[in-house]
Amino acid sequence: MKTATRLFELLPLQLEQYNLDVCLADKKEGKWRKYSTLEVIEKSTQLSFGLMSKGIQVGEKVAIISENRTEWNFADIAIQQIGAISVPMYPTISEDDYAFIFEHSESKLVFVSTEEIYQKAKNGAAKANLDLDIYIFDESTVTEHWSTLLTSGSEEQKEEMEKRKAQVNEFDLVTIIYTSGTTGRPKGVMLNHKNIISNATAVSERAEYNNGHDRVLSFLPLCHIFERTAIYFYFQLGLSIHYAESLETISDNLQEIKPHGFNTVPRLIEKIYDKIIAKGFALSGIKKQLFFWAVNLGLKYNPDQAMGFVYDLQLKIARKLIFSKWQAALGGNVRHIIVGASAIQPRLKRVFWAADIKILEGYGLTETSPGISIGMPDPTQAKLDYVGPLLTGVQVKIADDGEILVKGPNVMMGYYKDQEKTDEVIVDGWFHTGDIGELTDENFLRITDRKKEMFKTSGGKYIAPQVMENKLKESVLIEQVMVIGENRKFPAALIVPNLEAVGGWADRHGLNRTDPDLLKNVQIMNKFQAEVDATNQSFGNWEQVKKFEILNDQWGIASGELTPTLKLKRRIIKEKYADLIEKIYAV
């Protein structure tokens, strides 16, 4: 079987091997727009000619600022085919960030999806003193529509494009991805064709898809390397890609598409689980007892261990009576879900595996294209307390201080225009991840914390906040939490409550869920204290959360507490709640 060495070869190979009727699809104004493999290739090629007509040269940068939609892929492939470099950007970042990235990357042209993003991009370009051509995907009168660039190409252009494609090699820069980060200015991660294709191929080896036939739903941002690499391995396997309309419509889109798989982040799995549990609490009598019997059974599940005849029989009953409804809520066809971007609670992996929904946890960074390791769909090799075995071609060693070091074809070329920072993280060929972990003799990797997020209390004891936060979030009452205490006497926590779950608890205990002071109610406070106390039992005395504050706020991307991949912006949160933190430690 032929294999691609450059990203723009993936779809021509798909055409040869699978020739899909639906390669890409998205939903606009209530209707699905579907494009075959051939149509995607044709649109992308026409756009390549248009970019050449605008004077885009080999090695020049073209920015893409858009939510997930088919045009994103047309632009991405078109840029690759002429030897130019794509610079994908989050639609949610600020005008100042746009200005910085436009200037730093030296972008020559920009694709945007909506008029709102167009205005931000225009203002960003003005701040950077750049006069950029901006093309829009939506119908609009404010700037030129992207389709005006589509052209069949002259004979000279066709010859020129073939010449450019022939000159591209697998080690050539193909994209610069500016990491969202939790502090400071973003860094431009340089990835080449080899980085991404090697990773896409390695991940596809773990997949359980029916090549050329299965469907996937995509909703994580394409500007993030996690979903982008996934799109490329979907291309490799001949899977029909359907883009969700928005995060709010995922449930409906799952029912429409009935996908065989999708990628997500832990926070969305947590939300799915919390909604399921909330529905369980709303049941009564024998139905409620059966529901929680099944959940508790699932939380004990270990797919790679013999659980015994009695357990296996009970699980079979639970799957038929309870867990089958979980599968139906995801469309009924899901073979597995790949979860990445941050650590997922092992108990969630257990209960979903028990429900016959395989959660494959992935670990990696933008700098590693992104995969380093990923879980196995084979139950005998699941090991749910670990991320999973290393991907093909990836080497890992653990430094003396516990940091995970990586070497392989997936490791980035470096940071754009920043050799100093590149040299800080790539030493003797090993990329320093900044994560702390353990590696078994069988090459199964476990992540224990972020090196930079670990801190010491004033007593000199190390605290690994992410481990504690994941344990605290096992409570359905806790939506988000951040453990604090650097150079302080003890660890404490800022807790964002799950308002729906708190309201349900209030209903069951005779309290008024609409009371504006509900979170200050003594019974509610005592319940949260009990949840924290239960979590503390899993940690040493020096690690235990001694105090906490329940916040009235909800954390989000737009409000600034979370990155686009839903990680905590710890510095921002500390600054926002500085007075409250001082109050916690005042006594």
pLDDT at 76 over 80: yes
Tens-digit pLDDT profile for residues 393-426? 999 999 998 899 999 999 999 999 999 999 999 9
- Whether residue 526 lies inside any domain: the answer is yes
Q: What is the H or E stretch that residue 261 is in? A: strand 261-264
Taking the model in full, what pTM does it have? 0.82
Tens-digit pLDDT profile for residues 179-197? 865 446 789 999 999 999 9
Same domain, 281 and 425: yes
Task: Return d(Cα 14, Cα 19) in angstroms, integer.
Answer: 6
Look at residue 453 in the predicted model and tell me its pLDDT: 76
Q: The domain spanning residue 47 has which CATH number?
A: 3.40.50.12780
- Whether residue 141 lies inside any domain: the answer is yes
Task: Return d(Cα 560, Cα 573) in angstroms, integer.
Answer: 8
- Whether residue 226 lies inside any domain: the answer is yes
Higher pLDDT, residue 187 or 459: 187
Give the C-alpha distances (Å, rounded to integers) separating 62 from 27, 54, 187. 25, 12, 17
- Whether residue 479 lies inside any domain: the answer is yes
Look at residue 183 in the predicted model and tell me its pLDDT: 47
Same domain, 305 and 344: yes
Amino acid identity at 14: Q
Average pLDDT of 555-569?
84
Residue environment code for 470-501, b if the CB has 16+ CB neighbours within 10 A, otherwise e: bbbbbbbbbbbbbbbbbebebbbbbbbbbeeb
Look at residue 94 in the predicted model and tell me its pLDDT: 83
Same domain, 460 and 556: yes
Same domain, 428 and 531: no
Look at residue 206 in the predicted model and tell me its pLDDT: 87
Average pLDDT of 461-471?
82
Residue ending a domain, choose from 449, 468, 492 = 449
In the numeric block, which tokens belong to residue 210?
A: 């029916």
Neighbouring-strand partners of residue 447 = 437
- Whether residue 43 lies inside any domain: the answer is yes
Average pLDDT of 136-157?
94
Average pLDDT of 368-384?
92
Look at residue 182 in the predicted model and tell me its pLDDT: 45
- 268 pLDDT tier (thresholds 50, 70, 90): confident
Phi–psi pair at 303, nearest 5 degrees? -60, -25
Amino acid identity at 317: I
Tens-digit pLDDT profile for residues 508-541? 999 999 999 899 999 999 999 999 999 998 887 8
Look at residue 346 in the predicted model and tell me its pLDDT: 84
Task: Say how many domains are in the chain.
Answer: 3
Same domain, 469 and 351: no
Same domain, 528 and 387: no
Same domain, 380 and 314: yes
Q: The domain spanning residue 492 has which CATH number?
A: 3.30.300.30
In terms of C-beta density within 10 A (0-12 exposed, 13-18 middle, 19 or more buried), how is residue 508 classed? exposed
Same domain, 445 and 461: no
Of 190, 143, 144, 187, nearest to 171 by C-alpha is 190
Same domain, 16 and 80: yes
CB 120 within 8 A of CB 95: yes
- Whether residue 573 lies inside any domain: the answer is yes
> What's the mean per-residue pLDDT of the chain?
92
Domain that holds residue 280: 261-449
Same domain, 381 and 435: yes
The conformation of residue 518, written as its DSSP 8-state character, comes to G
Average pLDDT of 578-584?
90
- Whether residue 250 lies inside any domain: the answer is no
Higher pLDDT, residue 406 or 455: 406
Residue environment code for 170-204, b if the CB has 16+ CB neighbours within 10 A, otherwise e: bebbbbbbbbbebeeebbbbbbbbbbbbbbbbbbb
pLDDT above 90 covers what percent of the chain?
72
- 1 pLDDT tier (thresholds 50, 70, 90): low
